[in-house]
Amino acid sequence: MSASFFLITGTSRGIGEALAHRLLGEGQVVLGVARSSAESLQSERYHHLKCDLADASVASQIVTKAESLLEAQSFEFLCLVNNAARLEPLKPIGECSSFELEAHVQIGLIAPMALTSRFIHTFAHLPCRKKVAFISSGAAVQAMPDASAYCSTKAGLTMFARCVGLEQGQKEGGFETVSINPGMVETSMQVTARSKTDGEFKMAPYFKEAHASGKVQELDPVVGKIAKVLMQHQDPGTLINCAEMES
């Protein structure tokens, strides 16, 4: 049986790195994208592209790399996982600079939109099963003070996934789309959120209490659920909450 091909952004750490490792262990082929190297992902089936999603022009570069890999091998399933995101700035909107906001929205919303656009345009003709997944967050539906940029980009990305799902659901052999909310997971983003003082970030006590009370999940079990969702079929634009899935 042919392997599946996964293009994952943000594979140098956190969910992206763990998900790539999991899929490689299942025999899949992964193209990872990150600003830095992914030293832990040592496999002949892992390909890495070092680039910065803050640069609006990299979407074409990423898809061109994926295209070269797909020309060398046929796959039964092709999946883009838009995972990369930025947490900062975590402060009142009146204290956020235009530069901070532009960089945040570029990585968290514009880059996945542009990458999805190029991915669909380039590979729509392929007869295999195709999918675009978005790593979402509870912040997409739960407003938080001092996190307006993060909440807004996650909400925007979830709506984008729904819209693309409506488009693709009308096409014969179209791309599946799904948003996946992993819940509170022990990653560097969680560490950053709870390392802030109460004066720096109004939600810092919430994240500290969640960690102290054991509400923050370990990474590996959550990544296992995400990998399972990626392989399953969903209605276009579905939002999956990992917390509602059986272990």
**Token reading at 216:** 């923050």
User: Given a cut of 90, is residue 148 above it in pLDDT?
Assistant: yes
Pairing mode of beta strands 77-82, 46-50: unpaired
Contacts of 235 (CB under 8 A, 6+ apart): 165, 169
The tens digit of pLDDT for each residue in 175-202 reads 999 999 998 888 878 888 888 888 888 8
Mean pLDDT within 216-221: 90
Among residues 158, 152, 149, the alpha carbon closest in space to that of 180 is found at 158
Burial of 23 per CB tally in 10 Å (0-12, 13-18, 19+): buried
Contact 74, 2 (CB under 8 A): yes
**Token reading at 180:** 């996946």
pLDDT over 90, % of the chain: 74
**Which CATH topology does 4-183+218-244 take?**
Rossmann fold (3.40.50)
The tens digit of pLDDT for each residue in 58-113 reads 999 999 999 999 998 999 999 999 999 999 999 999 999 999 999 999 999 999 99
Domain range annotation of the chain: 4-183+218-244
In which band, very low, low, confident or very high, does the pLDDT at 36 lie, cut at 50, 70 and 90? Answer: confident
Looking from the CA of 122 toward its CB, the CA atoms found within 13 Å total 21
- What is the model's pLDDT at position 60? 96
